[in-house]
A and B are shown apart, each in its own frame.
Chain A
Amino acid sequence: MPLSEVRPDAGNVLVELRDVHLAFGRTAVLKGINLQVRRGQAVSIIGPSGSGKSTILRCITGLLKPQSGDIFLDGTDVRALKSEAELIGLRKRVGFVFQQYNLFPHLTVLENLVIAPTRILGQDLASARSNAHALLERVKLGGKAHAYPGQLSGGQQQRVAIARALAMQPELILFDEVTSALDPETVGEVLTVIGELVQDGMTCVLVTHEMRFAEEVSDEVYFTEAGLIVEHGPAHKIFSHPDSERTRTFLTRALRGEEQGRRQTNSFSPISFDRLKFSV
């Protein structure tokens, strides 16, 4: 059963984008994006490469500044944030998980999780550490606290990156193609962690190429192409009977590719999805 029917959209609007335009030089990347994320919702953004999906996430957390349009986070006008302090205030509330993990290589896993809460939020070291250990247990990396990122597999690094984002106790986490750089065998373990987060009610925006996963966990799905939202709606609707022909073509192709990938490499374990379904 799709999650959207289990969890009605009770929450108020946390993120809102209105007619957002962004260009790098003369290349227009976003050409009028409208998007809404309610508290507690999981929203997926799907679409072909280069359609501006990651750019949308970077705009939400103020890493990129659109030329026009409005971005609101819980009523705060993100585009109006001028000073560093104001941007810092925004970023404390928004977690970001990158495709390339981007852990700090000179710090141990534990230190990666502790540095921001202690230096930025001013938590004391002891409580930050115990919190970090709890988070590592949650992403099933309890034994790796003292390892360095370079000693972990891609999937493990990505789970650490998720835990690092969680350590800041954000209201919202943005996932930017977090499984795209991973070996097929480790994709499942990362998706499981994200699935559990969504179940726990964390507000998530996922840019993803994992269509099955997007269908499983999302309340709302946005299909983007060439800097525009082609179509959006509840996950089951987009995946079963989309309005747009372009969405249908994209999904057919993407899902076929996924099926093939799974047959060839026996990629991400179906077990994690079964578990997810049962617990839902």
Chain B
Amino acid sequence: MADSAYTDAVPLLPQSALVLRQGRTWLLLLLLAVLLGLLLRSGILQLPLLKDLLTWSPALLLGMLANIQISVLAIAIGTLAGLFIGVLQLSSVRLVRLAARGYVQLFRNAPMLILIYFSTYVFPFELHISSHYVSFPDWIKVTLGLALPASANVAEIFRGAMLSIPAPQWEAASSLAFRRTQLLRWIILPQCLRRMLPSWMNLYSTITMGTALASLVGVHDLLDTAQIASTTVNRVDFTVAIYFTTLLLFFIYCYPISRFTHYLERKYAFI
């Protein structure tokens, strides 16, 4: 109800701009189709190549699933940990605050690849819990490696959002007899989460792209599959095509996220 009231009153984009935007997308697809046609006719792109691509596509998609799985889990762990550390960053205890800030600065400013190597070689490959051995597969280690920077970034996004809520909002809610917990629940956090959402989704996009690094520590993901396909078929045109396909798959997954983020930024701009 609330959302519709808002969109009724202020259109997010003028209708004409929206049509233009859609028009541009279609034009792009048309251009791609024409390009594909030209490549086919010129003989650079040949039917055997398409057949090979088709053969490998289920494997590629399965590999992509690994990337998605890692990214979703990493952002989930990262968000939970990040919110917790974000709260610690705002603690009134100086030591807690400093420790949390240290964590955030350390993992925000570290290259993802190094964190992935770090988690891969620092964590044991299996855990020994009483008499049970729990194996600790590489993809989980990569997930943790990506969850580290994710948590640091979420903590920072949360801190920024909290500090961006003007102090009078606290005062206004207090004067309306809100308890501190109620005030956080109904007034501060809803505003915070709205402000966090675009940055959080950007972060998710970044983490998803970072999952490609998993192939470097032996996780069987999209990029790894592409490499295997490339060496198996062992043909230059196929190698080129498969890496283009890899790029395209990441683009298809990440681009809508980035568009949706853009939409959310506009939608919540008035807050």
CA distance A168 to B178 in the complex (A): 12
Closest-by-CB residue of A relative to B174 is: A63
* B240: Cβ under 8 A from any A Cβ: no
> Which residue of B2, B177, B194 is within 8 Å of A120 (Cβ)?
B177
Cβ–Cβ < 8 Å partners of A151 in chain B: 9-10, 270
Cβ contact within 8 Å between A147 and B9: yes
- Residue in B10, B186, B270 with the greatest tally of chain A CB atoms within 10 Å: B186
The interface-forming segment of B11-19, B138-146, B150-158, B165-173 is B165-173
Closest-by-CB residue of A relative to B187 is: A104
CA distance A107 to B188 in the complex (A): 12
* B252: Cβ under 8 A from any A Cβ: no
A165 to chain B, nearest CB (A): 8
* A106: Cβ under 8 A from any B Cβ: yes
> Which residue of A100, A103, A115, A148 is within 8 Å of B6 (Cβ)?
A148
Cβ contact within 8 Å between A91 and B270: no
A151 to chain B, nearest CB (A): 6
Cβ contact within 8 Å between B178 and A116: yes
* B180: Cβ under 8 A from any A Cβ: yes
* A201: Cβ under 8 A from any B Cβ: no
- Whether A147 contacts B5 in the complex (CB less than 8 A), given A63-B174, A63-B175, A106-B190, comes out as yes
B221 to chain A, nearest CB (A): 39
CA distance A146 to B1 in the complex (A): 9
* A92: Cβ under 8 A from any B Cβ: yes
User: Mostly helix, strand, loop or mixed at chain B's interface?
Assistant: helix
* B176: Cβ under 8 A from any A Cβ: yes
Cβ–Cβ < 8 Å partners of B9 in chain A: 147-148, 151
* A96: Cβ under 8 A from any B Cβ: yes
B10 to chain A, nearest CB (A): 7
B37 to chain A, nearest CB (A): 50
* A241: Cβ under 8 A from any B Cβ: no
CA distance A96 to B169 in the complex (A): 13
Closest-by-CB residue of A relative to B180 is: A84
Cβ contact within 8 Å between B175 and A91: yes
* B271: Cβ under 8 A from any A Cβ: yes
- Whether A119 contacts B180 in the complex (CB less than 8 A), given A91-B174, A102-B171, comes out as no
Cβ contact within 8 Å between A120 and B178: yes
* B24: Cβ under 8 A from any A Cβ: no
* B21: Cβ under 8 A from any A Cβ: no
CA distance A53 to B228 in the complex (A): 76
Cβ contact within 8 Å between A96 and B175: yes
CA distance A59 to B50 in the complex (A): 77
Cβ contact within 8 Å between A104 and B182: no
CA distance A148 to B194 in the complex (A): 15
Cβ contact within 8 Å between B271 and A111: no
Cβ contact within 8 Å between B176 and A164: yes
> Which residue of B2, B168, B179, B182 is within 8 Å of A98 (Cβ)?
B168
* B215: Cβ under 8 A from any A Cβ: no
Cβ contact within 8 Å between A146 and B5: yes
* A88: Cβ under 8 A from any B Cβ: yes
Cβ–Cβ < 8 Å partners of B169 in chain A: 102, 104
* B258: Cβ under 8 A from any A Cβ: no
* A68: Cβ under 8 A from any B Cβ: no
* A41: Cβ under 8 A from any B Cβ: no
User: Which residues of A from 213 to 230 have beta carbons under 8 Å from B?
Assistant: none
B211 to chain A, nearest CB (A): 33
* A108: Cβ under 8 A from any B Cβ: yes
CA distance A40 to B128 in the complex (A): 74
Cβ contact within 8 Å between A63 and B177: no
Cβ–Cβ < 8 Å partners of A103 in chain B: 172
* B191: Cβ under 8 A from any A Cβ: yes
Chain B interface (Cβ within 8 Å of chain A)? 1-2, 5-6, 9-10, 168-169, 171-180, 182, 186-187, 190-191, 194, 270-271
14 A-B Cβ contacts within 8 A? A88-B179, A91-B177, A98-B172, A104-B173, A104-B187, A105-B270, A105-B271, A116-B177, A119-B182, A120-B177, A120-B178, A147-B9, A148-B5, A165-B176
